[in-house]
A and B are shown apart, each in its own frame.
Chain A
Amino acid sequence: MRVEAREAAYVEFVTARQTHLRRLAYALCGDWRQADDLLQAALVRLYVAWPRVWRLGTEESYARRLIIRARLDERGGLRRRGRESTDEHVTDADDRTALFAALQSLPEAQRKAVVLHHWLGLSLEEAAEDLGIPQGTVRGHAERGLAVLESAPAREER
């Protein structure tokens, strides 16, 4: 694959999907700067693996798995990698609701299962493959997480 073609396809994918992928990261960690760091780390690995994943048509799931399988630190955020990610910064408090706060209150495994299964709408089988754990474990995490979310206020304003 020629460099120009590789980069054109990569740029097209990043342009189209970076907002969605960063929202996914934010749903997991609750911090825009850390979400941006995670997205950047995932996109770097995606670039390295691009010829193979692009040929297989798996670029979306590959990037999603890199994000979803990142380990979260003690405060629920992502482990920091490298430099500060962006000069712009939206305060998290401006951008979240009671439901989102409830999502962030979940243990990491439950949060990931809820995000994949209940937000992205992946099947339990797909979620299990993304997380690298058995389907039954995903089902348990998703059910427990859902119970917490259902107790969050139903009406909310952003």
Chain B
Amino acid sequence: MSVDLRERLDASFGEGPGHRPLEDRLAAGRNALRRRRRLVTFAVAFGLAALAIAPVVLRPATDAGRGIIPDPVPSPSTTVAPGHVHLLIAPPRYVHADTPPVLYLFGRMFRRDRGVDVLATYGEVDVAVHPQGGAIVQLGSRIRWVLVVGNEPERLDEQREAPYDYQAFMEWASSEFAVMSGRLALAATAPGRYAPPVSDEDSPAAYDGDLLVAKPGGTVVERIHHPPAERSAVPSCHDQAVRVHTSSGDWFVLGFDCLTQGALYSERAGVRAATLSSWLAQVQRVQGAFESVA
């Protein structure tokens, strides 16, 4: 790192206009703190009421991790003209209602059907053990970014509607793959038949500010701040693990919240471990192993 460049950068712009009054800063902080306390109080009260009057049924995780993220898009500044990539069409027996526009079979990327026009791909080469990649596709008049980790049917995908921009797509992919791999590692190594990872919506916990709390109907009975974890899948920002007690059973949830990126890894207690600490140790091991394969 050049000291000269650092000094040049430092001198390349000024200090800007005057600051807001400190009282404005304090007032905004106090309001936020009040809102947070009200929210926590409401959640606790609602949870107790729900436990008292009715059993709470958690939704099954049938659509886990397969939602289209409606969030808009990074910068289109480096767009190059899209081309067309030829991918084979997947055999119909591998295509289901929730199959994304591109999918992996035996380490090779396929397109779902003839309606998928592939404009660009990433990582489509054969990686039979642990494929991960993505594509920018056109479906009619709409452009969609698709990321896929894992061969069918042990697959996890993320999608978003966005204009064609390969570099922005790659940046999105680089931040998403670690979490996707971490989720898939958990799902793929759980005993029994493969089930997709539990989505954040279906998790019994959620972040409230900096704290991982139980959703209404549940109670956090154990918490570990900064738990041992595979850091590529669980960056160390507000990282926590909790055991949540619900009327339908206990859950382990490991999460992080980095402002623009966050994820929860959720699993029912007892599936692979009886205690939160032993569950964390196993999750760290399988997520680390998955990352090393990738």
Contact = CB atoms under 8 A, between A and B. Distances in A.
B1 A85 contact: no
B14 A40 contact: no
B6 interface: yes
Interface in A61-114: 65-66, 69-72, 74-76, 85-86, 88-90, 95-97, 99-100, 103, 105, 107-109
**B interface majority secondary structure:** loop
B26 A10 contact: yes
A46 B33 CA distance: 10
A132 B167 contact: no
Given A118-B5, A149-B5, A48 B36 contact: yes
Interface of A: 7, 10-11, 14-15, 18-19, 22-23, 26-27, 32, 35-36, 40, 43-50, 52, 65-66, 69-72, 74-76, 85-86, 88-90, 95-97, 99-100, 103, 105, 107-109, 115, 117-119, 121, 129, 132-134, 137, 146, 149-150, 154, 156, 158
Nearest to A124: B1
Nearest to B16: A32
A47 B14 contact: no
B154 to A, nearest CB: 24
B9 interface: yes
B130 to A, nearest CB: 17
Given A27-B9, A158-B12, 8 more contacts: A10-B29, A23-B15, A40-B28, A44-B28, A48-B32, A74-B73, A107-B171, A118-B5
Interface string B7-33: 011111111111110100110111011
B112 to A, nearest CB: 29
Contacts, number: 155
Interface in B97-134: none
Interface stretch (B61-69, B135-143, B229-237, B275-283): B229-237
Contacts of B292: none
B260 A43 contact: no
Given A95-B14, A132-B235, A76 B75 contact: yes
Contact of A49 (B75, B167, B209): B209
**A interface majority secondary structure:** helix
Nearest to B17: A88
Given A47-B32, A49-B209, A137 B25 contact: no
7 contacts: A15-B22, A47-B30, A49-B210, A86-B17, A108-B75, A129-B235, A132-B237
Contact of B26 (A11, A100, A158): A11
B29 A48 contact: yes
Given A52-B210, A88-B18, A119-B10, A107 B259 contact: no
A70 B259 contact: yes
Contacts of A149: 5, 9
Interface string B130-170: 00000000000000000000000000000000000001100
A23 B209 contact: no
